[in-house]
Amino acid sequence: MSAANLNVSPELESLIARLPKVELHLHIEGTLEPELAFALAKRNDIALPFANVEALRAAYNFKDLQSFLDLYYATAAVLRTRKDFYALAMSYFTRAFADGVVHAELFFDPQTHTVRGVNLGDVFGGLRDAMTDAHNRYGITSELILCFLRHLSEQEALETLQQALPYRKEFVGVGLDSGERGNPPSKFVNVFAKARELGLRVVAHAGEEGPAGYIYEALDLLKVDRIDHGVRCDEDPELVARLARERIPLTVCPLSNLKLCVVKDLRNHNFAKLLRAGVAVTINSDDPAYFGGYIADNYRATAAALGLSAAEIVAVTENAVRGSYLAATEKTALLGRIRAAAARPIQLTVR
């Protein structure tokens, strides 16, 4: 079943469109659309192993996380200069604005770029320029989360953190991504402890392809504030109960889960079950250029497949605000905007 077969009612469509949204799980490299990839390849005189945009898009047929990552790291090779990172992030913000995103916490993978000789200052600089312009142009606020590649060693993660220290003010936290199986959170205890000492916030991908045990490790060893994905928590009822009790946000990415075969059919996704069990689940787009949809597409497909109610959709947007790294006053203001947006049609009917 493809997500395109799923439709929501006009009322829910309108609600999803107008709700102010917070995106907490978005890899900026995963917003590289094939058109931009080819434009940057040309500008930088880099050959992509595909004849054209259509051939690249046709390769977006993944059987698991690793088959996606292989292509994702290969296309990221076109990103070289400050201008390239600016173009990448600005094109994301333009789409995010169209989808009603008001705040985004963006992952980026410095190791994917520094290994190719890209200057870390150019990565931070280009992303920062776009974040500033997105704020001025669209009113979108944003933060950066520096992710360590978990298929590499902890020593390399420590070196990456060290290299990023001159830019400490540019990022709010650290995360952990890339191939999960065989690379448990426990491999990164020291670098996460160091990040926390530096006052950085910490998150980690866990329980996407890896077992529920990796979620416990992320919580208890890395002491994360949120779990990215986390959908395999379901294999352990005690863990689900703990996530609900402690209100630990899960940044779920339904279309990613479908595209990477974490679930076979969106109608079997455990998102609604977790929501109804009291877990603070949120909806996000992960790598939208590769997975067939940005954040509003993820909301629509999930609502349609799982029969989410209007109140549940609103609750999901509120979970994202509460789970974000916005200041308390900003959270309160944004929750007020969500309530106002959710109430609008009712007020019109009453009048």
Q: Residue 209 or 286: which CB sits closer to Zn ion?
A: 286
Give ∠ CA 60-110-26 in degrees, rounded to 5. 50
**How many angstroms separate the CA atoms of 151 and 147, rounded?**
12
The reply on whether position 184 binds ligand HPA by CB under 6 A is no
Closest distance to ligand HPA from the beta carbon of 147 (Å) = 7
Closest distance to ligand HPA from the beta carbon of 176 (Å) = 9
The reply on whether position 105 binds ligand HPA by CB under 6 A is no
The reply on whether position 23 binds Zn ion by CB under 5 A is no
Query: Which x/- pattern, by CB under 5 A, does the window 265-294 give for Zn ion?
Result: ---------------------x--------
Are 209 and 181 spatial neighbours (Cβ–Cβ below 8 Å)?
yes
Q: Residue 122 or 286: which CB sits closer to Zn ion?
A: 286
**How many angstroms separate the CA atoms of 73 and 53, rounded?**
17
- Positive or negative: CA dihedral 107, 110, 113, 115: negative
Angle between helix axes 310-323 and 328-350 (nearest 10 degrees) is 160
Closest distance to Zn ion from the beta carbon of 257 (Å) = 10
Closest distance to ligand HPA from the beta carbon of 47 (Å) = 23
Query: Which x/- pattern, by CB under 6 A, does the window 191-230 give for ligand HPA?
Result: --------------x--x----------------------
Q: Residue 27 or 331: which CB sits closer to ligand HPA?
A: 27
Q: Residue 101 or 252: which CB sits closer to ligand HPA?
A: 252
The reply on whether position 286 binds ligand HPA by CB under 6 A is yes
The reply on whether position 217 binds Zn ion by CB under 5 A is no
The backbone torsions φ and ψ at residue 251, rounded to the nearest 5 degrees and listed phi first, read -95, 90
Residue nearest to ligand HPA (CB): 177
CA 195 to chain centre: 20
The backbone torsions φ and ψ at residue 176, rounded to the nearest 5 degrees and listed phi first, read -140, 120
The answer for residues whose C-beta is within 8 angstroms of residue 65's C-beta and 6 or more apart is 179, 180, 181, 208, 209, 260
If binding means CB under 6 A, how many residues of this protein chain bind ligand HPA?
10
Tell me the residue type at 41. A
What is the token pair recorded at 22? 């917070």
Q: Residue 29 or 84: which CB sits closer to Zn ion?
A: 29
Among 178, 251, 282, 317, binds ligand HPA (CB under 6 A): 178
User: How many CB atoms are closer than 10 A to CB 241?
Assistant: 14
Among 99, 122, 177, 297, binds ligand HPA (CB under 6 A): 177
Eight-state DSSP code of residue 81: S
Are 263 and 237 spatial neighbours (Cβ–Cβ below 8 Å)?
no
The reply on whether position 257 binds ligand HPA by CB under 6 A is no
**How many angstroms separate the CA atoms of 116 and 127, rounded?**
18
Enumerate the active-site residues.
Answer: 208
Q: Residue 8 or 96: which CB sits closer to ligand HPA?
A: 96
**How many angstroms separate the CA atoms of 129 and 148, rounded?**
23
Among 111, 142, 183, 256, binds ligand HPA (CB under 6 A): 256
Residues 9-28 that bind ligand HPA (CB under 6 A): 27
Q: Over the Cα atoms of the chain, what is R_g? A: 19
Q: What is the binding site for ligand HPA (CB under 6 A)?
A: 27, 30, 65, 177-178, 205, 208, 256, 286-287
Q: State the residues that interact with Zn ion by CB under 5 A.
A: 286
